[in-house]
Structure 1
Amino acid sequence: MSTSGNPARVWARDLAFGVRFAVGGGREGWARTLLTAVGVGLGVAMLLLAASVPAAFQSRSVREDQRVASYSDATHAGPGPHTLLARDAATTFRGNGITGELVRPDGPSPALPPGLSRLPGTGEMAVSPALHALLDAPGSALLRERLPYRTVATIGAAGLSGPRDLYYYAGDPQLTTLNDNAARIDHFGASSSEQPLDPVLILLVVVAVVVLLVPVGVFIGAAVRFGGERRDRRLAALRLVGADRRMVCRIAAGEAAFGSLLGLAVGAALFLGVRQLASDVTLYGLSFFPSDLRPETALTVLIAVAVPLSAIAVTLLALRGVAIEPLGVVRNAAPRRRRLLWRLAMPLAGAALLYPKAGRGGVSDTVGEIQVGAGAALLLVGLTALLPWLVEATVRRLGGAGSVPWQLACRRLQLTPGSAARMVSGITVAVAGAIAVMTLMSGVGTQYTRPTGQNTAQAQMAAYIDLPKGTDPGAVVSAFRGTPGVTGVRSATTAVAATVPALARARAVFARKHDPDVFADVPQISLTVAGCPQLEAYTGEHGCRPGSVYLIGEGDSGQPVVRPGETIDLAVPDPAATSAGSARPWTVPATARTGTAHVDATGAQHTGVLATPQALSTAALADPQVQISLTLAPGVADAPDQVRNTAVRFDPSDPTVMLSATDTSGPFSGIRRAVLAGATVVLALIGASLLVSTLEQLRDRRRLLAVLVAFGTRRGTLGASVLWQTAVPVVLGLALAVAGGLSLGALLRAISHTPGGYDWSGIGTLTGIAAGVVLVVTLASLPPLWRMMRPEGLRTE
């Protein structure tokens, strides 16, 4: 074959010749090309999903901002035709967070939230499609009891953060602005002012992106090399008819390019299919509409260009280690041992990039982000270079002893250690990256998780119920005592008071200006009314009896703000009140004792005046609130929901909270949810790609398997040998992944300056999940294996 002529024309001719090989290679050629296309397509679909993440989260954020109840200065003038009262009414049902708004229009044309054509009236409710389905589901009787409104409308997509969003608007005629129960608004929609992430969280985001995307690149690189041995034999035949080495390399590049281009089409089709299913999937509380998944244009173009170029580069790089001659492929001879030194260069280079950032407390600029991202990527990709050497060095030492399946597996691994290593390289990188992120998150989490002071051994839930006028706190407490699943109730009634002179001055100002804001500036005194057991727990004092009063200091000084014998005014007007009311004096008994505040089960401290009901009647308090801590019966799954249903009988906004010993910051929690969702998708990609890779290797060995069966080898023996061929490189790959992941995690912890040990239980679970994925994929490949052992496998074209 002539190789002279214009270089561009020569390249074009040889690349086209490679495409003809991929298309016109008969059934074998098409099978190889389709397997490559599917492998590349899975990776491309993942890349397109990753390219859609920024737009998806931006769309969710915009919709969430547009439904925020907002007000302008004009609403302070009072109700108008376009205003309404709104109050947040979030609740939880069996672990599912439900968000809502209680609304009451002031006029005939109130502002409307997005997704609704009218506000629900009294006793009516507009719900999201997901909440509608949950309400109608069997076993949701408790939720229907908690939201006893009649559903009259469905919230449109414009008013939902995602298709699985649980949201509602309910009409409540009892809403008032007193006690800050509700806010008067005149429109929906707010501009978000997101705070920039601090350097440690930026580090976590950068590493997570690298860890989630590097395995995808490894999968694509492995898919391009499907059928490499058969391809090399065909190229040797071309050498026999006169093609030189450069020409066969260009032909191989053309074949790989065609497979990758077909993979782009497959990946685009898979992405569009997954995109349509997005509405039905929820990962760690995140759901998206199909229209949210829009790949960034620049990233899409980059993927379309980079994948074929990478396929060509991987193919040419693979051919450098193979001597394709006219009489055969030298790779079939005894292979030269792989060298270790150059394989260490890539992970060492990654560590060298990461080490200078150690102790900096994260990354705070673009250069630092690129440096850390490149270092992490080099270290992870370097594991794929080390894995073939590790597999070869291990299987070379495996002797001939053992069962027949073991011997067959060892011999096959000794002949083709590179193929075995490529099959598990993706899962090795994925597990190593996941261990590194887990290690970083466990250390970073200590910075963004703070103790709440809540004692979950004493109480598991709390309720804070504002008492309507005339309501007996005892009736509220009794209702909770009779709630199924509640074994203990502790309660206290709280309110505020003020000194008589301060409140008298405020009333005088109000009489002149009629400005209720003057009452917001009055120094307030906290009041707590409870039984002796509670007061002794709040103060740490003993000897309480009916009529006892305690004065507990508040503020930095720790000194009580009132003295025994001093008179205070219990009738403090609300800042939104339209009347100053009349004074309600109460004199602190001369027998009042001072004490020190102690933290209760809810993590709160009660300061100011603490009194028994015999000393201070709850009926004398202005706008009192009942604070209740509850102990739940272990093993009663619906106990929290029973408590919430009791609470909404007194306050439809569900004033209950679950107690927790720690609290995690919102930004860190959001990043963790996104990382876990991405890791779940990558794990699914691992399984699919590994199955395709296994099927490709079995197809490549079909004739050999058929020959062995024809000579009398039992199928069970061959099946066991295939399992061993998978198990050995998987064990080696996971061992390398654990070592590499721990090393990268240690470097990242040094960069973030976070202390802490390793989460060995999490690492063990993650490794076990990865091994389980490989086992499931291997078992799924056995039916095709049985079919390949038939005598028809000896047929050739």
Structure 2
Amino acid sequence: MSARPSPAATLPEARRAAPRIPQWSRDLGMGAKFAVTGGREAWVRVLLTAVGVGLGVALLLLTTAIPSALASRHDRERGRNDMTYRSVVEKKSDRTLLIGTADTTFHDLDVRGRVLQPEGARAPLPPGVKKFPAVGDMVVSPALDRLLKSSDGKLLRERLPYRVAGTIADSGLIDPHELAFYAGTKDLKATTHTTGRIERIDAFGSSGQSEPMDPVLLLLVLIVFVVLLMPVAVFIAAAVRFGGERRDRRLAALRLVGADGRMTRRIAAGEALAGAVVGLVLGAGFFLIGRQIAGMISVFRISVFPSDLNPAPALVALVAVAVPAAAVAVTLFALRSVVIEPLGVVRTARPSRRRLWWRLLLPLGGLAMLYPMIGQGRSNGNFNEYLVVGGVMLLLVGITALLPWVVEAAVNRLGSGGVAWQLAIRRLQLSSGTAARMVNGIAVAVAGAIALQMLFAGVDGDYTKAGKNDLSRAQMSIQVPDGVAMSEVVRQLSTTKGVTHTSALGSGQIGDGRNEPERQASVTVGDCTALREAAKLPSCHDGDVFAVEDAKWDQDTANLDKTGNKLYIDPSYGTSEKGKEIPWTVPKGIKIADSREDPTGYERGGFLFTPGALPEKAASTVYGTVYLQLDESVPDVREFVRNSAAKIDPLADPDNWAATTQSKRFTSIRTGLFVGATCVLILIGASLLVSQLEQLRERKKLLSSLVAFGTRRRTLSLSVLWQTAIPIALGLLLASVVGLTLGAVLLKMTATSVSVDWASVLTMTGIGAGVVVLVTALSLPPLLRLMRPDGLRTE
């Protein structure tokens, strides 16, 4: 019988057996083999690493798919565009379609509506519609169909008097939760006055270039992406180090069979590589699951079709290469200060003190990259995207470099206390790096969120304008449809449930000539009560006419209101409406009124007519607006108003007055931030939970030993809580400092005065702390199961 080779000869002989394979590849392969064939312990560690990496990879893939989803959304929206705003209506033909805008709002949900009237057999079909709905029918989006069939959609069903005859395909919707419909009609007429409301088109879609984005908004987009992705990258780097202490003890055994120090490090990197590769597979699975879920849920009213979430192949390849490479690099970097000997791992002795100087270079380098753009604002072109991304990344990465030093410096100065406190402090003193790694992700996320909140709060005033509408005089308004008398609109709206008062004002023009007059002024029509909303009247009776000469913008009324002057209501400009002017002579004794802002904040001048004084033919030339005061205590009062307006005209869309209006692009960026931040917080919570469970698993025998010696479970639970709370408190403090610094620099870059929104800072910090408290609570049941004396049993 041949002698069995000694373990010490195994590894050198293995090297000689395969001389053609590079040493690195063999060692990495051996580590990967140990990871998958090392029994339950190895598999648990691989699974923990893979789950952590998989969560990060899934979020990275979802993030890299966002540009594709937004582009698809924009393409579909542009492909169904039907508003041309032409000043001259095209001629009717076999290829033309009359289309009217019937948008409405239900509660706070926007409903996109169009009414269609084909004028020929070859009229263009809207995207996503197979055939034109018959008169009185409509095709609806799946989301609108569900809403109309639900009990919540009762008031909306009353507003849409059409029979549902089909659904709109995905190609005609911007997202799966959009509320939209196309209805058939035969009552549309297009004129130059209805342009923008009723259009005659021969094709859907527009090829025009979109408006370039404001440099500050571009900066916001860049910062949002960096801030959302950095915590993911930090977490992936931490995930590949799960189970590090047990791994190092296994590496010591390898030294006994002949492996040198470099080889053991490469084997350790191979184990991490195996976990990262399995994590890539899990990440792809998580991404596909998340991709499908994305089509079923709406976060902050943003959703996407699963087919839109297609990451660019180059970005997918980058993630597939970068994650395993990062796993190897991080593992080798982590082992640089660990001495693995045949008889154990030299890490139980006091480690060398961490140096501060090189850790400060990262945030200082980030500030240096951002400094050249301070004061640039939006007037000096776009910000240098490479400097912005690089500077912000260095500042946030600086947190991960500074936090271990901060934790070590703090815990070395903490001393006496209760038993739980002393157990926690001693543990932190021995493994401050591990504690810091758990906190890094959430600290980076909180710092970025604080900086973004400061930037959003600082530039909010540039994109949010205070409305001029006087909400004390009206809360809604509606344009009087063409061909409908203002009195009829007022009558129907006055009887609507929840409407307490209505006032109607008509608007027109008057001039001193039939065609392109030299002098002109505005015309306002209304009863005495309504006119008092637009001017200060001395006295008023039906049949009176007033002149307002003191309006700031009005230069001509004082010359036009002379007794006997012959003026023309609705003078024409060009030739399209020539011949339709209505002559009117200024009567004797015309009254003078003082100007006053109307409910919209507009200061009217010109002539004020009561209905009895307006020439009969001029009634059709006046565009009316009805202002509504509401009883806000009536539930759904605005829905009742919209329903009444729809009965008057299916295309009517009452305006809901608000104190402020905000840029849609700014709002969409802020919404995107909330959606992304929600996903990152979910990831951070999951990562902390996995990390906490891994730490508890590492200390299973230690906890069992302490319980066997009589330590109370309450004491051990408190010690675990302190071990989590102290690094988190230090991490949040450091995150606040870095976040405030970054926020101040970004505000300086946008030429905005620096101010701290302390409520946002405390909110972001509180959310971070809340995530940690939740994770700690979820880890308590496993902790209690581990604290049993029978945990000391071994085989």
Correspondences of 1:31-430 after superposition (within 5 Å) = 31-69=44-82, 76=89, 78-178=91-191, 179-180=193-194, 181-361=197-377, 368-402=384-418, 404-430=419-445
Q: Which moved more, 1:410-419 or 1:594-603?
A: 594-603
State the Cα distance separating 1:214 from its structure 2 match.
Answer: 0.6
State the Cα distance separating 1:320 from its structure 2 match.
Answer: 1.1
Contact between 1:90 and 1:99, CA under 8 Å: does it hold in 2?
yes
Distance 1:726 1:523 in 2: 78
The answer for the alignment partner of 1:631 in structure 2 is 629
What does the per-residue CA deviation read over 1:236-291, in whole Å, with 9 as the maximum and x for residues that have no partner? 22223332211111111111111111111111110011111121121233211111
Distance 2:300 2:575 in 1: 40
State the Cα distance separating 1:581 from its structure 2 match.
Answer: 6.7
TM-score (normalizing by structure 2): 0.92
Contact between 2:545 and 2:609, CA under 8 Å: does it hold in 1?
yes
Paired AA for residue 586 in structure 1: W
Contact between 1:462 and 1:658, CA under 8 Å: does it hold in 2?
yes
Contact between 2:468 and 2:600, CA under 8 Å: does it hold in 1?
yes
Paired AA for residue 205 in structure 1: V
Whether 1:526 aligns to 2:539 is: no
Alpha carbons of 1:39 and 1:541: their partners in 2 closer, same or farther (altered >3 Å)?
A: same
Contact between 2:221 and 2:669, CA under 8 Å: does it hold in 1?
yes
The answer for the alignment partner of 2:25 in structure 1 is 12
The answer for the alignment partner of 1:434 in structure 2 is 449
Alpha carbons of 1:623 and 1:72: their partners in 2 closer, same or farther (altered >3 Å)?
A: closer
State the Cα distance separating 1:82 from its structure 2 match.
Answer: 2.3
Alpha carbons of 1:191 and 1:75: their partners in 2 closer, same or farther (altered >3 Å)?
A: same
Q: Which moved more, 1:304-313 or 1:486-495?
A: 486-495
State the Cα distance separating 1:142 from its structure 2 match.
Answer: 0.9
Q: Which moved more, 1:240-249 or 1:746-755?
A: 240-249
Distance 1:23 1:703 in 2: 24
Distance 1:467 1:365 in 2: 45
Alpha carbons of 1:13 and 1:128: their partners in 2 closer, same or farther (altered >3 Å)?
A: same
Distance 2:379 2:567 in 1: 55
Correspondences of 1:684-723 after superposition (within 5 Å) = 684-723=682-721
The answer for the alignment partner of 1:510 in structure 2 is none
Distance 2:162 2:225 in 1: 44
Alpha carbons of 1:261 and 1:59: their partners in 2 closer, same or farther (altered >3 Å)?
A: same
Task: Give the share of equivalent positions with the same residue, in percent.
Answer: 48
What does the per-residue CA deviation read over 1:9-47, in whole Å, with 9 as the maximum and x for residues that have no partner? 211111111112211221111001110001011111111
State the Cα distance separating 1:720 from its structure 2 match.
Answer: 2.8
Which of 555, 560, 565 is matched with 1:558 structurally?
Answer: 555
Distance 2:472 2:483 in 1: 31
DSSP-derived class of the 1:99 partner = strand
The answer for the alignment partner of 1:468 in structure 2 is 483
Distance 1:530 1:715 in 2: 81
Distance 2:65 2:775 in 1: 28
Contact between 2:505 and 2:625, CA under 8 Å: does it hold in 1?
yes
Alpha carbons of 1:557 and 1:461: their partners in 2 closer, same or farther (altered >3 Å)?
A: closer
Contact between 1:362 and 1:751, CA under 8 Å: does it hold in 2?
no
Distance 1:590 1:525 in 2: 19
What does the per-residue CA deviation read over 1:163-212, in whole Å, with 9 as the maximum and x for residues that have no partner? 11111111232221143141111111212411222322221111111111
Distance 2:113 2:670 in 1: 25
Contact between 1:602 and 1:659, CA under 8 Å: does it hold in 2?
no
Distance 2:523 2:382 in 1: 53
Q: Which moved more, 1:446-455 or 1:81-90?
A: 446-455
State the Cα distance separating 1:597 from its structure 2 match.
Answer: 4.6
Whether 1:487 aligns to 2:512 is: no
Paired AA for residue 138 in structure 1: S
Structure 2: state its 5+ residue gaps. 1-10
State the Cα distance separating 1:452 from its structure 2 match.
Answer: 3.1
DSSP-derived class of the 1:280 partner = coil
What does the per-residue CA deviation read over 1:433-459, in whole Å, with 9 as the maximum and x for residues that have no partner? 011111111222222223332223433
Structure 1: state its 5+ residue gaps. 504-520
DSSP-derived class of the 2:377 partner = coil
DSSP-derived class of the 2:347 partner = helix
State the Cα distance separating 1:363 from its structure 2 match.
Answer: 9.9
State the Cα distance separating 1:682 from its structure 2 match.
Answer: 1.3
State the Cα distance separating 1:655 from its structure 2 match.
Answer: 2.5
State the Cα distance separating 1:736 from its structure 2 match.
Answer: 1.4
Paired AA for residue 619 in structure 2: L
Q: Which moved more, 1:373-382 or 1:523-532?
A: 523-532
Contact between 1:487 and 1:632, CA under 8 Å: does it hold in 2?
yes
Alpha carbons of 1:460 and 1:745: their partners in 2 closer, same or farther (altered >3 Å)?
A: same
Distance 2:595 2:666 in 1: 33
Distance 1:284 1:110 in 2: 37
DSSP-derived class of the 1:316 partner = helix
Alpha carbons of 1:135 and 1:576: their partners in 2 closer, same or farther (altered >3 Å)?
A: farther
Distance 2:691 2:498 in 1: 53
Contact between 2:748 and 2:754, CA under 8 Å: does it hold in 1?
no
Number of residue equivalences: 776
